[in-house]
Amino acid sequence: MFVDEITIKVKGGDGGPGALSFHREKYLPKGGPDGGDGGKGGDVYVVGDENLETLNFYHSKKKLVAESGSQGQGNRKSGRDGADLYIRVPLGTCVYNADTGKFLGEILSPSDKLLVAKGGKGGRGNSNFLSNRYRAPQVAEKGEPGEEVRITLVLKSITDVAIIGLPNSGKSTLLSLLTNAKPKIAEYPFTTTEPVFGVFDTGLRLVRLVEIPAIIEGSHRGSGLGNKFLKHAERARVLLLLFEKEEDLDIIKTELSLYNDNLLKKDIITFHKDDIYSESRLETLKDRITDIFDSLKLSVPLSLEEERLSIEMEPLSIEKIGETFYVSSKDLAKDLRRIDFTQRDHHLLLNPLIKRYGLLDALRRNGAKEGDRVIIEGIPFVMLEGRIKYEF
């Protein structure tokens, strides 16, 4: 079984209800309202797991629900938040809304995390509703239900080279000669019925190869095994087309373009079935693959992860007015708002933020030095050696 496409229902946890309660103490007969808020329901996320290769785990799952928030308590005690639910998927998984078809995002690295269903807010407890008019409010808010969504997960495996050919064209044989994979090799057609992955070592890097189950004339109409496995070729850089007769290549290329025109824009290597059994031809092929992937090393300075991170983080904008440096960043401002600067040990929260945003380096690049005044989104700081100190 190789599940690479699945639709499941997911639901965020419900918010817990707020409490309706009044303060009770022995000699205080008329205590005020003290009902706490309900906890928030857990969110549902899709996250990457580099150790997974398929979506098989979700095959038998119909609905996945995050934990609900618990009820608020008397004494203004809030309910506990429900735990978030993580749907772990192999890298390369695309996520769609199953009802609208809308593309929600894709998981390409283990740090990718996609929110698919929000947990509901907790209800407000009656202590929130105290006013001069209502000294003893008999009201508490219910929790908000968690969001419910049907999502479709489609795995488009992350590979470098896709081996494509008609039945019995030697795909499995070639994969077994180039990589550590041990696919079944046999005389009959359609021996390979699901994608098989293997790794080829150039000496500098690992190249991931995949054997796509055989393509035949009419695959796009569902003949043979159909063309659905071509999605595992979509992210490949190189297509390795195996053939016996020149006409085979025409059939393959026609089927590729009927699946997705962009496939033919990739680097294409054609290789004759008989050459698989020629040691020198095989060596030439290995050299060609090595050349393609080792040269990439020079042109790709950022890892995928760094690149994505730098896109996602809004850049800091720094402006010097007089002797003061003004920093603005919506993201940083939001994080700073969670800190109470009157607390003695607030630096335990502040310092990691400064580091995460690379604030010291950014300030230095803009000419700031120790002792300079820095205002971040309206909050005053002084730059010191290796840190930034809150100073009102």
Ligand X SMILES: Nc1nc2c(ncn2[C@@H]2O[C@H](COP(=O)(O)OP(=O)(O)OP(=O)(O)O)[C@@H](O)[C@H]2O)c(=O)[nH]1
CA atoms within 13 A on the CB side of 277: 5
> Which strands, in side-by-side order, build the sheet including 267-272?
196-201, 206-211, 161-165, 238-243, 267-272
| Among positions 68, 172, 179, 329, the unique one binding Mg ion when judged by CB under 5 A | 172
| Among positions 79, 82, 170, 195, the unique one binding ligand X when judged by CB under 6 A | 170
Instruction: Check residue 168 for interaction with Mg ion (CB under 5 A).
Output: no
| Among positions 186, 199, 302, 384, the unique one binding ligand X when judged by CB under 6 A | 186
- By CB under 6 A, which span of 109-117, 185-193, 201-209, 350-358 interacts with ligand X? 185-193
**Distance between CA atoms of residues 225 and 94, nearest Å:** 22
Instruction: Please count the residues of this chain forming the interface with ligand X, following the rule CB under 6 A.
Output: 18
Instruction: Check residue 215 for interaction with ligand X (CB under 6 A).
Output: no
**Distance between CA atoms of residues 297 and 270, nearest Å:** 24
Instruction: Check residue 173 for interaction with ligand X (CB under 6 A).
Output: yes
Task: Report the residue number, 191 or 202, with the smaller CB distance to Mg ion.
Answer: 191
**Distance between CA atoms of residues 122 and 72, nearest Å:** 8
CA atoms within 13 A on the CB side of 270: 13
Task: Report the residue number, 68 or 169, with the smaller CB distance to ligand X.
Answer: 169
| Six-digit token string for 225 | 């095994």
| Among positions 73, 172, 179, 227, the unique one binding ligand X when judged by CB under 6 A | 172
CB of 182 to Mg ion, least distance (A): 12
Instruction: Check residue 68 for interaction with Mg ion (CB under 5 A).
Output: no
Instruction: Check residue 224 for interaction with ligand X (CB under 6 A).
Output: no
CA angle at residue 3 from 82 to 66, to 5 degrees?
A: 5
| Among positions 105, 110, 189, 380, the unique one binding ligand X when judged by CB under 6 A | 189
DSSP 28: B
190's contact among Mg ion, ligand X, none, with CB below 5 to 8 A by partner kind, is: ligand X
**Distance between CA atoms of residues 80 and 121, nearest Å:** 12
Instruction: Check residue 191 for interaction with ligand X (CB under 6 A).
Output: yes
- Whether 109 and 91 have beta carbons less than 8 Å apart is answered as yes
Residue position matching structure tokens 């580091």: 355
- The interface mask with ligand X, positions 258-297, x = CB under 6 A, is ----------------x--x--------------------
CB of 167 to Mg ion, least distance (A): 8
Beta-bridged to residue 96, according to DSSP, are 103, 152
| Six-digit token string for 387 | 């840190």
- Whether 366 and 351 have beta carbons less than 8 Å apart is answered as no
- What is the full DSSP assignment across 201-262? E-SSSEEEEEEPPPP-TTGGGT-TT-SGGGGGTTT-SEEEEEESSHHHHHHHHHHHHHH-GG
Instruction: Check residue 169 for interaction with ligand X (CB under 6 A).
Output: yes
CB of 90 to Mg ion, least distance (A): 21
Task: Report the residue number, 70 or 169, with the smaller CB distance to ligand X.
Answer: 169
CB of 247 to ligand X, least distance (A): 16
The CA-to-CA distance between both ends of the chain, in Å, stands at: 63
Buried b (16+ CB within 10 A) or exposed e, 219-233: bbeeebbbbebbbbb
CB of 296 to Mg ion, least distance (A): 27
**Distance between CA atoms of residues 268 and 271, nearest Å:** 10
Instruction: Please count the residues of this chain forming the interface with Mg ion, following the rule CB under 5 A.
Output: 4
| Among positions 13, 165, 195, 198, the unique one binding ligand X when judged by CB under 6 A | 165
CB of 273 to ligand X, least distance (A): 6
Instruction: Check residue 171 for interaction with ligand X (CB under 6 A).
Output: yes
Task: Report the residue number, 91 or 166, with the smaller CB distance to ligand X.
Answer: 166
| Among positions 192, 219, 227, 329, the unique one binding ligand X when judged by CB under 6 A | 192
Instruction: Check residue 192 for interaction with Mg ion (CB under 5 A).
Output: yes
Where do contacts with Mg ion occur on this chain (CB under 5 A)? Answer: 171-172, 191-192
Where do contacts with ligand X occur on this chain (CB under 6 A)? Answer: 165, 167-173, 185-187, 189-192, 214, 274, 277
